[in-house]
Amino acid sequence: MKFFADTADVADIQDLASTGLLDGVTTNPSLIAKSGRDLKEVTREICALVDGPVSAEVVALDHQEMMKEADILRHIADNVCIKVPLTIDGLKTCKALTRDGALVNVTLCFSANQALLAAKAGATFVSPFVGRHDDVGQNGMALIADIRRIYDNYAFSTEILVASVRHPIHVHEAALIGADVMTAPPAIIRQLVRHPLTDKGIEGFLADWGKTGQAI
């Protein structure tokens, strides 16, 4: 399973990338606004920090304008992945861009039928938002399982990118289902490593080691 960081915070990305465990980054207009940075400038910096895809989202709503924005974003770096919304214009843009060799992430997916359309449009990634799905009383993980089954039924190569991840259980469940990628805020990625018994174990081993008087 690939791990993407869902942030536009360069310092956080740099720190996670240094672990060697980061496979890519996703941003969106809200995360760019939160960073307080210029979209093109911050995207260029992020692309230089990670080898994998860095999603940068268009904000236009019609196909022609999306194509113009995508053209600008694509030229920032080779690993930019154009993020388009799951609308008819977004799907048209996805089809045109992937035909031209671009990476495309179709975002704001909330149903299995939408995911089916994204795959038919040749998307590199589809982003179902599990947390926002849960927020409205639906089951985000059931959606991931449905999409996995549908994509496997037809051998679609579109990767399922589990988005809007809110806690480590989302990551665990997405991995059991066989999602290809998950994107989560850096704090959640860091939480994955923590276990109280690991900390307690280290403490016990070090206390016993101290009694031996040895050094390695």
Q: Which residues bind ligand E4P (CB under 6 A)?
A: 6, 26, 28, 107, 127, 129, 131-132, 163-164, 183
Q: Please classify residue 2 by burial: count the beta carbons closer than 10 Å to its beta carbon, then call 0-12 exposed, 13-18 middle and 19+ buried.
A: middle
Closer by beta carbon to ligand E4P, 92 or else 110: 110
Using alpha carbons, select from 91, 94, 92 the residue that is nearest to residue 82.
94
Q: What is the DSSP letter of 211?
A: H
Instruction: Look up 83 and say whether it is catalytic.
Output: yes
**Nearest distance from residue 158's CB to ligand E4P, in Å?**
15
* Residue whose tokens read 């280290």: 202
| Distance in Å, CB of 127 to ligand E4P, minimum | 5
Shorter beta-carbon distance to ligand E4P: residue 98 or 183? 183
Q: Which is nearer to ligand E4P, 98 or 105 (CB)?
A: 105
Task: Give the separation between CA 59 and CA 138, rounded to whole angstroms.
Answer: 27
Nearer to ligand E4P, 99 or 167 (CB): 167
CB 24 within 8 A of CB 54: yes
Map residue 51 onto helix, strand or coil.
coil
Q: How far is the CB of 108 from ligand E4P (least distance, A)?
A: 8
126, 160 in Cβ contact below 8 A?
Answer: yes
CB of 128 to ligand E4P, least distance (A): 10
- The residue annotated as part of the active site, out of 2, 40, 83, 211, is 83
- What is the set of active-site residues? 83
